[in-house]
Structure 1
Amino acid sequence: MDSNASFFGPDGALHQVIRCGSTLTDVSTGRSAFVISDSGGTSLVADQDGRLHQYMKNGSMTTDLTTGATYFEI
């Protein structure tokens, strides 16, 4: 399933993220990531540098548990 969302990042910048299958692309920065698992509001994602991130979604707020960064979906 393809999806498109806009987020305010922890730096206050607006990020437009597109998901196509298991690939995530931040159109604003050109960076991409790969979703390894997605279950019950949490996702394990490998970024393009090979680092793993665990994300937890709660309503319109998503927190990267690995870095502590919070993103707000608009």
Structure 2
Amino acid sequence: MSRPRKPYGPNPPGRLLATMIKVLAAEMSDQNRLARGRRYYNEDAVIDIVIGHGSVTAEVRGSRYDPYVVTIE
């Protein structure tokens, strides 16, 4: 059973961060990849996300037993 969550942050700072991530991802990726990432997030497949200087790294649960790591630089 999925845990309930608020979309992209429950408060104004969370919404600001979500907007900044959307802009960064849109500039660094194509629309299909961005849509797929949103789908993974909405399906609770994103286990962890780390925002660094010039990169975003996420641990994602896919169809295999072990999760995989993806980085946008």
TM-score, scaled to structure 2: 0.39
TM-score, scaled to structure 1: 0.39
**Larger fraction in helix:** 2
**Which entry has the higher C-alpha Rg, 1 or 2?**
2
**Larger fraction in strand:** 1
Higher relative contact order (CA 8 A, sep 6+): 1
